[in-house]
Chain A
Amino acid sequence: MTVIRTGVDRAGPEFAANREAMLAKLAELDVEQAKAVAGGGEKYVERHHMRGKLLARERIELLLDPGSPFLELSALAAWGTDFPVGASIVAGIGVVSGVECLITASDPTVRGGASNPWTLRKILRANEIALQNRLPVIGLVESGGADLPTQKEIFIPGGAMFRDLTRLSAAGIPTIALVFGNSTAGGAYIPGMSDYVVMVRERAKVFLAGPPLVKMATGEESDDESLGGAEMHARRSGLADYMAVDERDALRLGRQIVARLNWRKAGPAPKPEPAPPVLDEDDLLGLVPTDLKVPFDPREVIGRIVDGSDFDEFKPLYGSSLVTGWASLFGYPVGILANARGVLFSEEAQKAAQFIQLANQVDTPLLFLQNTTGYMVGKEYEQAGIIKHGALMINAVSNSRVPHLTLNMGASYGAGNYGMCGRAFGPRFLFTWPNAKSAVMGPAQLAGVLSIVARQAAESRGQAYDEAADAAMRQAVEAQIETESLAPFLSGRLYDDGIIDPRDTRTVLGIALSAIHSAPVSGTNSGADGFGVFRL
């Protein structure tokens, strides 16, 4: 047991400036999240309420257990695209009848809840989370189907939505659809592929083709209720297992279904009564320098998120630009890898690879705290085999079997993003602080590289280099890369599972770890197949 001692000067001007900058970022985040919450806007919200219907988030709030938390995922999906922030669907992890479930709710106030390409990505990501972590899925369905103008982006990959539902079911993960309104054409397969289906009387509409299309296809006269009403599906087709008298009744039935799943989490239980951190999590606002070039000690973060601020460091004297060690979070043991001075050298890479093997040996989940500018470059390092060593680390991260959690606290650049379990390396959850950035390299470096290459090309052609154009190009590129490396942009593209308030880090990671432990937790049980842990 080693309780971290803080070295933060909370009274200093730097801390105050950092805090102010972070609060400004959080205020911006609030504005963006409010857009998602506002859905289709006042007019559509009012119209929806006038029809006696509940909003997507109102449905979720009623579905959840009283007092329980709800971790909304991908809240800023579609940010920076042509589609509304939030991607016309709400997704998250919440507790229903004592069971942690993956909940999605289409937002019918946003273009009738129609799915656009970002909606699809958000749903597929939610399904992936459910499958990896074995979370029962509850879909609150009311969607006008595909956004037809973008069908080319949706139709073919969209089949995965239905495939996922039945694969979840096949994996022993129950899927529940509560149908509040339209769920037609392809959307009819959402209830169609779900294990349990509840439909709201006089509201649910589930058919392959509506009256006009039926008329065109076969000449038959029909109406919504006879083609796809809740009464019909509950009494005749059998597609509805339960008919709800109204929306609240549907949510009651949803809770009732979950209560009868007799669901048991497959992972090990956490140690009971974990101690909160000794250090104040409020300080997390003032730790990160406004300039990402200035590194900060990740132990100050670890000390504010782990149980009792208790962190036993592994190999503290070796490769000290990467901090590794053991802790627990809400009683769940974790191994932590955290960048200390941005750059990863050969030692750090080897230390990481060894540590990842150790975690796999004893089935301990890993938490990656990113603040990296990448692997060291330069003649000396290339000659010393930095690629080989980086490859060791990326190899270990890629083939590690224990669940990974990743948090981008600041910088996540270059191959450092890979080694520190970036999105492509499949962490179970990846969250971002509002100040964080990620790109292949820094905007100035990228623009500078382009400039050098262009200058060399001009020189080789014997042409004079246009310095003014170069300056303009550099400025434009820098601005573009800067924008595209910001947290909202990355979050909008589903490159993370959400931007979080640093003060919520422990809570968010705790909910994520708890969700992870719905599935069995096990590593490779050795360093590499058939070998012991390689001492690197």
Chain B
Amino acid sequence: MITSVLVANRGEIARRVFRTCRDRGLGTVAVFSDADAEAPHVRAADAAVRLPGNAPGETYLRAELIVDAARRAGADAVHPGYGFLSENAAFARAVIDAGLCWIGPPPEAIDAMGSKIESKRMMSAAGVPVLPELSPDAVTEADLPVLIKASAGGGGRGMRVVRELSALPAEAEAARAEAQSAFGDPTVFCEPYLATGRHIEVQVMADSFGTVWTVGERECSIQRRHQKVVEEAPSPLVERITGMREQLFDAARAAAKAIGYTGAGTVEFLADERGRFFFLEMNTRLQVEHPVTECTTGLDLVALQLHVAGGGRLDENPPLPQGHSIEVRLYAEDPAAGWQPQTGTVHRIAVPGVLTRFAVGTTPSGLRLDSGVEDGSIVGIHYDPMLAKVISWAPTRTDAARLLASALHRAAIHGVRTNRDLLVNVLRHRAFLAGETDTAFFDTHGLTTLAAPVADEPAERVSALAAAVTADAAAPQPLPGVPLGWRNVVSQAQRVEFDGPSGRHDVTYRFSRHGLITDFVDDVVLVQLGPRRVVLGVGGVHRVFDVSRYGREVYVDSALGAVALTALERFPDPADLVAPGSLLAPMPGSVVRVAVALGDPVTAGQPILWLEAMKMQHQISAPADGVISELPVSAGQQVDVGTILAVVAEQAEEPQ
């Protein structure tokens, strides 16, 4: 009997599993890296065991440390979550060998699905439709485009699209290197790339008595860099095509049975608009997007995992899904800047109207939040930048989309740049609402539109004005009661500058006996003013603006859309002045390689060094022709954002 569960994971999934454990009266054990010492998932557990270090290879991927942690903390079961060791058969065996309960499928099932090449052969044999698999050496012009995949991979890592034969060897090599570093197995393969496919997956749940449930399908077609961003149940495609669901469910059941699967798993398919589908892979674990299935079925999939792992038996049939549920992944990233991951402190994350956290709700419609972060959490460079999953459920898809978009629109998310505006734009996009989703959604509709700020430029200007006036109200006043900014002789407007998404805002205004005087925004009146909230009437319409400040970072939340501004210092600190041509670290990370030496001549665009941050390598190149006049960093060095990495000076004149 399971009494205490260790979750070999971090972030929201650890909290998700703990929630069910707590609901069932089970003890909880967390593991944590040094960077996660203060993380919410650690506080959520009864006991926590440190895994020294930060890199996954030192911490969350160390099977023996985790088994030891379970033993020391008295856990008798291990839940792997997703990612990390969740699909590592050796880990599953180590857990079982240590006499602990493994909350997952049999190691053999993991093995069977672990190799994508092998699994496709097996599935084909079981009658599951598969795409032909190509060896990277055997790809011909006719096969293009192809997708290179890591055999041991998952989550999009190592995947690369190749459209020209000449690019194949280099891309395959890069994919092998990434696969080796991420999964310890360099094997890669190719398959035909369906640029406009639909990603459809079926949730299965199986017990050890031969019952295999198919608990509804999910569609996760909207992806960036092969990572899912928006997921929903049921699939608009499957809803549209008669008989497709039954075929999918049959194939999924066949897949699970072929490998003697138990527990929760997901069979992923790539489908086209006509409803044809091909087996992609089976994820032998709980999926990130499992909440949409929970919200449409009322099931607690983690509870079922525990039930099955503990030898429990499933009912004959799963409950029938009802209504519609949509999940979005809120990432700390900048979609408009190549999805660059963002780091920093999440000062505040507040989604309005959340009814439930990490659990199924009981109302006909509502919002669920599965968040790995809380106010004050730090998003570092070591792990995935997903902040939270926000999930809506409602009787219809349109209702669910509208509810979710509105909640995200009104959410206060302070501290790091996120993909929130992108998510809102997607959820409100005509094509999305029409169910026209495929894996090329972002390419088809363009990031220019989709990543555009929800708050348009006029909204940004009003928000800047709100930020300016509340700053005055928030400043300590030694003469309380005296009107703000009072002057008996008026000489000029007050001036405050902000940098915003659409550029510089030079806000000019002043307070008078008759209220706010400004030509920065037309037809505006000050209705009510406090240090953190201002009500402005714009064109006769009153709106509330909530203003939060963290140093120079200012966040203005209103129904017009959230606006993040940076207040410019009234007095630039001369110490901040950097030498011309300085290259600053765009984010915290470590210097991987330095390609130049002090005094080297460089040309514009020439790589100077590479910075590794958030699992990605960033090349720092010379901004102009010149000479390396300063090079204060070296390979292996950790740098903070803003650190001077190198200085490129103008080429010195040749001596005559």
Residue positions of A touching B, CB distance < 8 A: 33, 36-37, 55, 57-58, 61-62, 65-72, 75, 95, 98-100, 245, 248-249, 251-252, 255, 272-274, 276, 330-331, 498, 500-501, 503-504, 507-508, 510-511, 514
Contact = CB atoms under 8 A, between A and B. Distances in A.
Contacts of A66: 471-472, 475, 494, 496
A67 B489 contact: no
Contact of A248 (B473, B477, B491, B571): B571
A507 B489 contact: no
Contacts, number: 96
B488 A58 contact: no
B574 A68 contact: no
9 contacts: A58-B491, A68-B479, A70-B487, A95-B477, A98-B476, A249-B572, A273-B480, A330-B479, A510-B481
B492 A57 contact: yes
A57 B472 CA distance: 19
Interface of B: 471-473, 475-492, 494, 496, 513, 570-574
A87 to B, nearest CB: 13
Nearest to B473: A67
A67 B574 contact: no
Given A69-B479, A69-B482, A514-B478, A33 B489 contact: yes
Contact of A500 (B485, B488, B513): B488
B487 A67 contact: no
A68 B477 contact: yes
Contact of B479 (A95, A255, A272, A501): A95
A102 B120 CA distance: 83
B489 A95 contact: no
A501 B488 contact: yes
A508 B477 CA distance: 16
A510 B496 CA distance: 27
Nearest to A72: B489
B404 to A, nearest CB: 39
Nearest to A501: B488
Contact of A72 (B481, B482, B488): B488
Nearest to A245: B574
A260 to B, nearest CB: 16
Contacts of B480: 272-273, 330
B478 A95 contact: yes
Nearest to B476: A98
Contacts of A272: 480
Nearest to A99: B478
Contact of B572 (A75, A248, A504): A248
A510 B476 contact: no
A273 B480 CA distance: 8
Among A66, A501, A507, A514, find the residue whose CB has the most chain B CB atoms closer than 10 A.
A66
A248 B489 contact: no
Given A507-B482, A511-B482, A69 B487 contact: yes
10 nearest A-B residue pairs (beta carbon)? A67-B472, A252-B571, A69-B486, A57-B491, A72-B489, A67-B475, A37-B491, A66-B475, A69-B482, A75-B489
B111 to A, nearest CB: 65
B129 to A, nearest CB: 67
A72 B488 CA distance: 6
Given A249-B571, A249-B574, A251-B571, A511 B492 contact: no
Nearest to A272: B480
A69 B572 contact: no
Contacts of B488: 70-72, 75, 498, 500-501, 504, 508
B491 A503 contact: no
B483 to A, nearest CB: 6
Among A36, A67, A255, find the residue whose CB has the most chain B CB atoms closer than 10 A.
A67
Among B484, B486, B494, B573, find the residue whose CB has the most chain A CB atoms closer than 10 A.
B486
Contacts of A95: 477-479
Contacts of A57: 491-492
Nearest to B574: A245
Contacts of A252: 570-571, 573
A505 to B, nearest CB: 11
B492 A58 contact: yes
Contacts of A503: 513
A67 B571 contact: no
Contacts of A33: 489
Contact of A67 (B484, B513, B570, B572): B484
A96 to B, nearest CB: 10
Contacts of A255: 571
Contact of A511 (B479, B484, B489, B572): B479
A273 B494 CA distance: 27
A13 B480 CA distance: 37
Contacts of A98: 476, 478
Contacts of B471: 66-67
A66 B468 CA distance: 10
Nearest to B531: A67
Contacts of B477: 65, 67-68, 95
A504 B485 CA distance: 13
A331 B483 CA distance: 15
Contacts of B487: 69-70, 72
Contacts of B492: 57-58, 61
Among B481, B489, B492, find the residue whose CB has the most chain A CB atoms closer than 10 A.
B489
A95 B513 CA distance: 20
Given A61-B492, A98-B478, A503-B513, A68 B570 contact: no
A58 B496 CA distance: 13
A249 to B, nearest CB: 6
B485 A67 contact: yes
Given A55-B491, A67-B484, 16 more contacts: A37-B489, A37-B490, A37-B491, A58-B491, A68-B478, A69-B487, A70-B486, A70-B487, A75-B488, A75-B489, A245-B574, A330-B479, A330-B480, A501-B488, A511-B479, A514-B479
B65 to A, nearest CB: 51
B486 to A, nearest CB: 4
B157 to A, nearest CB: 48
Nearest to B487: A70
Contacts of A100: 478-479
B491 A507 contact: no
Contacts of B476: 65, 98
Contacts of B478: 68, 95, 98-100, 514
A500 B571 CA distance: 32
Contacts of A245: 574
Nearest to B472: A67
Contacts of B574: 245, 249
B533 to A, nearest CB: 16
B184 to A, nearest CB: 55
Contacts of A72: 487-489
A514 B477 CA distance: 12
A251 B476 CA distance: 19
Given A67-B471, A67-B473, A276 B489 contact: no
A503 B512 CA distance: 12
Contacts of B496: 66
Nearest to B493: A61
Nearest to A86: B489
B481 A330 contact: yes
A71 B490 CA distance: 10
Contacts of A248: 570-572
Nearest to A276: B481
A68 B481 CA distance: 11
Among A71, A251, A331, find the residue whose CB has the most chain B CB atoms closer than 10 A.
A71
Contacts of A274: 481
Nearest to A510: B482
A37 B496 CA distance: 21
Contacts of B570: 62, 248, 252
Contacts of B472: 66-67
A222 to B, nearest CB: 29
Contacts of A37: 489-491
Contacts of B573: 252
Nearest to A500: B488
Nearest to B577: A245
